């Protein structure tokens, strides 16, 4: 233990225990102290340390897949689907498992539940919307369930936070389907989800769309010509007159109906 504890150089000389070894090595092997009771109180330099380890098995997909790097909704869902395959198989061979329609649907529902974890105290924050929990989803619309059934053919809306990147990515996907107006995109969104402040979010996405900016660009109008000098100078009434000319207009003779002419 000399080299593991503070030791002066003269204790490591040629005839020291470090060089020659302990004294019992010079005795017969039968006399070696095989066992020895150690009194920890006599070891003043001994430090007893204790360690506590905590294992956290919580799986957060957004810590693995950066949603900010995706501009396509389905590419993001397929990427998460492959990550879940790796997680289930406990092997990177899950990357080669081709996603199916059922697995993509399961992945989408899983991502929605992960997104809803950022809602916080949703029971009080969205109290006016009548929130509840159905099949693991936070839903709203319990107070208007009959109206939803009659108009939207569903019982509730799945609640999504307006500030989460997943919500913006999904609304962008709905907008890029046909580059329709705000109301049409809102109707497609509300066929399944309810997003507080959705109109403002849709308007911002439409404003950033390059294709929509080209279509909605206003055409520059033409300015009128210069006013004649005669109109700018004072003069007596009817000193300058003008006649508006229209035509040609097709006409028919009042007597000879088959004869056509033009007039101005």
Per-residue model confidence as pLDDT tens digits over 194-244 = 999 999 999 999 999 999 998 888 777 778 888 888 888 888 888 888 788
Per-residue model confidence as pLDDT tens digits over 130-140 = 888 888 899 98
Per-residue model confidence as pLDDT tens digits over 115-168 = 999 888 888 888 888 888 888 899 988 777 777 777 767 778 899 999 999 999
β-strands 260-263, 249-252: how paired?
antiparallel
Plot region of 77 (φ>0 → left; ψ -120 to 50 → alpha; else → beta)? alpha
Q: For the chain, what is the mean pLDDT?
A: 83
11-43 as b/e, with b when 16 or more CB fall inside 10 Å? Answer: eeeeeeeeeeeeeeeeeeeeeeeeeeeeeeeee
Nearest to 212 by CA among 258, 180, 187, 164: 180
* pTM of the model as a whole: 0.60
The token pair at 79 is 């990427």
């Amino acid at each position: 233990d000399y080299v593991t504890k503070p030791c002066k150089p003269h204790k490591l000389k040629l005839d020291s225990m470090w060089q020659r070894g302990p004294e019992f090595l010079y005795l017969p092997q039968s006399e070696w102290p095989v066992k020895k009771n150690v009194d920890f109180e006599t070891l003043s330099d001994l430090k007893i340390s204790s360690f506590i380890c905590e294992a956290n098995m919580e799986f957060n997909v957004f810590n693995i897949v950066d949603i900010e790097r995706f501009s396509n909704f389905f590419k993001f869902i397929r990427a998460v689907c492959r990550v879940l395959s790796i997680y289930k198989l406990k092997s990177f061979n899950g990357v080669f498992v081709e996603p199916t329609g059922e697995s993509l649907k399961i992945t989408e529902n899983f991502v929605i539940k992960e997104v809803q974890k950022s809602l916080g105290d949703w029971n009080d924050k969205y109290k006016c919307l009548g929130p509840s929990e159905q099949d693991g989803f936070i839903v709203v619309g319990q107070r208007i369930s009959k109206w939803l059934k009659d108009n939207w053919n569903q019982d509730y809306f799945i609640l999504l936070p307006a500030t989460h990147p997943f919500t913006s990515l999904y609304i962008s996907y709905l907008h890029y389907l046909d580059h329709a107006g705000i109301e049409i995109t809102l109707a497609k969104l509300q066929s399944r989800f309810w997003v507080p402040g959705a109109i403002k979010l849709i308007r911002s996405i439409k404003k950033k769309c390059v294709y929509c900016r080209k279509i909605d660009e206003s055409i520059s109008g033409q300015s009128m010509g210069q006013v004649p000098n005669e109109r700018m100078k004072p003069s007596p009434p009817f000193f300058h007159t003008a006649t508006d000319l229209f035509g040609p207009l097709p006409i028919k003779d009042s007597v000879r109906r088959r004869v056509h002419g033009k007039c101005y």
